[in-house]
Amino acid sequence: MKTQELIKFLNSLSPRKIAIIGHKNADPDAICSMYALSYFLKNLHKDAEISIIAENVNKVSEKIISELNLTVESTLTFKPEIIILVDANNLVQIGKIKEHLPSNTPIIVIDHHISHPETDKISQFKIIDEKATSSSEIIYKILRDTTLKIEPKIALSLLIGILYDTRRFTIISNETFSIVLNLLKAGANYEKALDLLRTTMDRSEKLARLKAAQRATIHKIGDWIIVTSHVSAYEASACRAFIDLGADAAFVAAEKEDEIRISARATQEFFEKTGINLAKVMEKVGHVIGGVGGGHPTAAGANGTKNAQEGIKEALKILEKEIAKLS
Ligand SMILES: [Mn+2]
């Protein structure tokens, strides 16, 4: 971890106002890693004003924010002297906040998603660890490299972030288990973490999933079953539902007035046997819908403003081409 370089970079700027910004629809990993990072920064720059910002947060994050009594702003509340993007690696992901960023403000990127071409252009310093299960894991390693004591609430937050992004220890490395053990020793309560991540599904989410199923198209490409559909919201949830139903990969578009979002999910088996990385697929889909895409090999997405249908078609075209190469 480039912790010492990070500290050096931060000290060279000695910022008095720091904005930590996560992606839109911030998930528990984004929220919890931003919170733990703010703890680190408060100790490094004692007098600095620090705010945690995300345009909006997802439902389970809402619960965590209220239970842990965190403060998350939806917009910039001051002119930052430094911006730290966490769990995001490009500015489209932060949504409308992008329009309010003061120019010439140094940007640091801390993220675990597959690196994005824009990252180098926008950032003066970055810590990108694609092997990390979560941004929370990266922040843990930063804290570990300092003499700062990890307080129980910080340990709990990081555990929540890791649990969420590993899908409760489904996608995990041996190292992550040792990190989790250290978080438990630092006072994180595992029961509490699980409890905070438990949510009941909204009626609107249930309806979105069922409508997605009603509108689904099944594509048989080689031996694989790919499902596509469209909804007005909860596209990621709908994708997960299709994977649970038996799809090897799923693409679901959500069309809003001024925004197109396409979510993509695949099984680990699909990724391992085809080598198709959805983050790369969605990067291309992002161009088609007039925005950007990225994410992880089996969970990715794209945001844009137009051509939802074409975006889905592009994804299928890429899959057809790649799968044809295999036979
Ligand atoms: Mn994450």
**What does the pLDDT read at residue 199?**
85
220 CA to middle of ligand 1, Å? Answer: 31
pLDDT score of 24 = 92
Q: How far is the CA of 135 from the centre of ligand 1 (A)?
A: 5
- The Å distance, Cα 183 to ligand 1 centre, comes to 18
From first to last of the 327 residues of the chain, give the pLDDT tens digit: 799 999 999 999 999 999 999 999 999 999 999 999 999 999 999 999 999 999 999 999 999 999 999 999 999 999 999 999 999 999 989 999 999 999 999 999 999 998 888 999 999 999 999 999 999 999 999 999 999 999 999 999 999 999 999 989 988 888 999 999 999 999 999 999 999 999 888 899 999 999 999 999 999 999 999 999 999 999 999 999 999 999 999 999 999 888 999 999 999 999 999 999 999 999 999 999 999 999 989 999 999 999 999 999 999 999 999 999 997
Per-residue model confidence (pLDDT) at position 25: 92
Position 170 scores a pLDDT of 86
**Adjacent-strand bridge partners of 86:** 22, 110
pTM confidence score:
0.79
Distance 216 CA to ligand 1 centre (A): 28
How far apart are the CA of 200 and the centre of ligand 1, in A? 21
Map out the domains of the chain with their CATH numbers: 3-197 (3.90.1640.10), 204-326 (3.10.310.40)
